Amino acid sequence: MSEPDASPAITLTSINKSFGPVHANKDISLSVDKGTIHGIVGENGAGKSTLMSILYGFYRADSGTILIDGKRRDINSPDDAIAAGIGMVHQHFMLVDPFTVLENVILGAEGGLTLKKGLALARTELERLEEDYGLEVPLDTPVEDLTVGLQQRVEILKALYRGANILILDEPTGVLTPAEADHLFRILRQLKSQGKTIILITHKLREIMAATDNVSVMRGGEMVGTLATPDATPERLAELMVGRRVLLHVDKGTAVPGQPVLNVRNLEVIDDSRVTRVDDVSLSVKAGEIVGIAGVAGNGQSELIEAITGIRPFASGSIELNGTVMGRTGFNARMSRKCGLAHVPEDRHRMGLVTPFEANENVILGYHDDALYQHGLFLNHDAIVDDTVGKMEKYDVRPRDPKLKAALFSGGNQQKIVLAREIEHDPDLLIVGQPTRGVDIGAIEFIHKRLIELRDQGKAILLISVELDEIRALSDRILVMFAGRIVGECGTAASESELGLLMAGVAGGDAS
């Protein structure tokens, strides 16, 4: 009987990749054992996604070799990667929303002489995969009707259906609730137990510590270390990622709240389909405090923010900003800014930035009529560029190029541009949604420190985040939303389980 193949699942040797003057991957070597979950961490721009894009065939390395199961493979396209048994689940899913799960999975791999036969064969195989790996998804449901967590399972099923033995997941929990993330990791452990090899790209160190067997750290395009996860600590990994010691907890004193800056009373928001998204919500935020709103995405938080900021009309109730009551008609984002409100949107790409615009153009969005930016009837471009450079220095935006298009900055640096624009106009009330979504650990530390500084300067902050750790660390009071309503208010000592019960709608009242 022949001995089982002991070769690593993946061996990368001296991988180099440049984009013009940017050396994204510098002489990288990596070995990933079969049947393990291997984490890859690093700040945004460290080169980890580029490296995985080379492994999956999106990019071709300038030099270096790739071995899969000990055999050299030339991977010049995703088709080559799939043929080598590699699948990839991207951060932004590659699905056709109106198609059913079944149709999405077989797209490009229909099989059979007729589509009907291909669908029948695929259904049988997918039902087997669902049972083997705990990936139950309704095969005949359109993808657009599924939760984000179920859509991610569809992506995993696609890869397995195409024969993947190696699965790359790029920031897989960035769009998931805590419960969905926990379920994903149960699926990954099941895949591992069946002999699959998983590469997990994430910036969340708690996930690395909980889910992986080994972890590799990248910084500045180089591989700076690989450790067995039991031998690692979050502090050690953070230091390797950033090149300095990083504060992993939020250091803050006791809040000293002042007068209310925001009062919301009995607010109701109805969407275009006549569905009530915000149902009789009342809340207040005082100067010098951070009020966090926790909840599973889709429970009315986004619509509440949009109503308070003047982006979305409300059906009934009242909004009072700095003593000014906003009417149901005529209230808009310009008016909210004039009343001292600044807004960091949940989705920086959809609402926070115009990515084809330069950084300096994005810095004045919504504030272009400020006297600082005016020169007679025209914009003062020199003043705008100088102001942008100042903000970039203060917020450590890299690269420090005010004329670089926003699309070319990493996610963390894009977020810093939005934060700098809103915070540096000295608002009385800052509404910030998902402040560290898709942001690396160094930028998270910076953003958290800045929010605490604002609170201590007497600013009122309303924070919305699906990250329970973030809500608990930053907030002075925590409100929980479920099905469009505030279902509880918690003190800062509330446990994750207490918050989880409220978020699931199975508990109510005060959990402080």
Task: Give dist(CA 173, CA 152) in Å, integer.
Answer: 10
* Helix, strand, or coil (residue 459): coil
Q: From CA 357, how far away is CA 71, in angstroms rounded?
A: 45
What tokens were used for 419? 């934060």
Q: Are 153 and 176 in contact (CB under 8 A)?
A: no
By the 8 A CB rule, do 403 and 360 touch? yes
Spatial distance between the Cα atoms of 444 and 424, rounded to a whole number of angstroms:
18
pLDDT, position 113: 54
Class level of CATH domain 276-503: alpha beta
CB 362 within 8 A of CB 417: yes
Low-confidence spans in the chain with pLDDT less than 70: 1-5, 110-115, 117, 174-175, 177-178, 248, 438, 507-512
Nearest to 344 by CA among 300, 396, 308, 295: 308
Q: Tens digits of per-residue pLDDT, 219-273?
A: 989 999 999 999 999 999 988 988 887 776 788 999 999 999 999 999 999 998 8
pLDDT at 512: 41
CB-CB contact of 344 with 433 (8 Å): yes
pLDDT of residue 507: 60
Please, where in the chain does CATH 3.40.50.300 lie? Answer: 10-242, 276-503
pLDDT at 358 (0 to 100): 97
In whole angstroms, what is the distance from residue 480 CA to residue 225 CA?
40
The pLDDT value given to residue 61: 96
Of the candidates 324, 319, 398, the residue with the CA atom closest to the CA atom of residue 359: 398
The reply to whether CATH 3.90.650.10 applies to domain 10-242 is no
Report the C-alpha gap between 232 and 258 in whole angstroms: 43
Instruction: Specify the DSSP class assigned to residue 248.
Output: -
Contact 172, 184 (CB under 8 A): yes
**Are 80 and 57 within 8 A, CB to CB?**
yes
DSSP bridge partners of 325: 320
Specify which residues 23 forms β-bridges with.
18
The first and second tokens of residue 373, run together, are 């930016």
Rounded to 5 degrees, φ, ψ at 121 are: -65, -40
Supply the pLDDT for residue 424. Answer: 94
399 residue type, one letter = P
- Residue type at position 322: N
Which pLDDT does position 1 carry in this prediction? 44
Burial 372-406 (b: 16+ CB within 10 A, else e): ebeeeeeeeeebbbebbbebbeebebbeebbebeb
For residue 509, what pLDDT is reported? 45
